[in-house]
Amino acid sequence: MTTIQLREYDESEPIKLSIVERDALQRLIGRATISPVAERSDHYTINPKNTVGVARTGDLVVEIQPKLPIERALFLVAYALNPAYWRQHLVDLQSAETLHEAIARPFADFAEFATRRGVLNGYRQIDESIAGVKGRIRVSDQMSKRGRLSTPIEVSYDEFTPDIEENRLLLAASQRLLKLRRLDPETQRSLRRVVKRLNDVTLTRYRKNQVPHLRITRLNRRYERPLALAELILNDETIELSTSSTTSSGLLFDMANVFESFVHVALREALNLSDREFPRNAANRLFLDSGQNIKLEPDLSWWQGSRCVFVGDVKYKKNDDGLGKNPDLYQLLAYTTATQLDEGFLIYAATEAEPVQHAIPFAEKQLHVRTLHLDADPSNILAEINELAAVVSTSRPNSQLLSAVS
């Protein structure tokens, strides 16, 4: 087994790779740049860009550490997925050495604790053909298939079973994590105990963007913690690698997408807005030209009916001088033009500079450049979000007619 350790955005030292390994690595981490070393045909330098996590194909394992502390990166991912849960349950992950261990360890603990006294059971409707009568006869199906009321009978009935969505999610997440190498042995043992308890549950393959979000009730309350993490593990922020190969698996995160998702969800929560009022993007709603050929998709937008009252963009970039980068400002200017707003906000990941405001006299626009300090504690990061929400709330048109930020 060959292990390559990388760091987000850092170029590695020369690494010896075969052509097969080089090509496999490029498939695993599509954003990475793999550059040949001069005069050494089998050595390469690798920059993973903003991808972090772990991936494996065959005998090649790649581990990419985030520049942020691991627990901070996990906080951004998890809060964007389920802010209500993570306000109440912040997991101490200081001792985790890798991002996937930081996720696997609390999931294994929570899942094992939730299933220790027995797995959750629920009612599931079964439709089948049987020799007798059980439950309700499906008359229309019976007549269309059999032409008469004789055996076998088409019936429907409710079965009390552990094969329900909650357990399927826990099983799928456990199996996903067990495919990852270099997990702590105790974490692996905990995951295997969970899998054993779920032996009567159907192993389901969940597609990205189609992982169900289950409502927590008094009946499944003890599953709340592991379900929150299972959704994270199976959610679209994770990348399923080389799905055609049974030897490939991974848990990778695009930190640019993570940051954008976090800012969107956290700002929406701070403004107390719905998904409809504060959508993830303004797809098919915003165009720069009158012919609607130039489509715009800002990361942040607040809508009152068909009218946009706030627009902004999020960039996972360093902003050392605090002024913002020209292409990003041009993009924001296009957004304010298309929305007919006087102001727009550009939000960067980190800088020591103070907030900046650019006046664009010919267009009569104000472009605000703000930053979030991601190396701070989660409470401080959310405090910065609340400050930003207060500024946004007062800068929008007709702000006195809208509800104030709670």
Summarize pLDDT for 170-192 with one digit per residue, the tens. Answer: 999 999 898 876 788 899 999 99
Per-residue model confidence (pLDDT) at position 326: 92
Provide the residue ranges of all domains of the chain, joining segments of one domain with +.
Answer: 2-117+165-256, 122-161, 272-401
Q: What are phi and psi of 190, to 5 degrees?
A: -60, -45
Contact indicator for 12, 47 with CB cutoff of 8 Å:
yes
**Cross-strand bridge partners of residue 308:** 303
Over residues 37-83, the pLDDT tens digits come to 998 889 999 999 998 888 777 778 888 988 888 878 888 887 887 77
**Cross-strand bridge partners of residue 304:** 307
pTM of the entire structure? 0.75
Contact indicator for 106, 394 with CB cutoff of 8 Å:
no
Q: How confident is the model at residue 157 (pLDDT cuts 50, 70, 90)?
A: low
Q: Dihedral (C-alpha) 284, 287, 293, 299: value to the nearest 10 degrees?
A: -60
Say whether pLDDT at 241 is over 60: no
One-letter amino acid at 237 equals: E
- Percent of the chain with pLDDT strictly greater than 90: 39
Give the residue among 276, 371, 275, 268 at the shortest CA–CA distance from 320. 371
Cis peptide leading into residue 279 (ω within 30°) = no
Q: What are phi and psi of 63, to 5 degrees?
A: -115, 125
Instruction: Give the Cα-Cα-Cα angle 176, 177, 182 (nearest 5 degrees).
Output: 140
168-179 core/surface letters (b: 16 or more CB in 10 A; e: else): bbbbbbbbbbbe
- Please state which of the ranges 125-134, 224-233, 267-276 shows the lowest mean pLDDT: 125-134
Rounded-to-integer distance, Cα 201 and Cα 167, Å: 7
Contact indicator for 45, 13 with CB cutoff of 8 Å:
yes
Q: Report the pLDDT averaged over residues 261-283.
A: 90
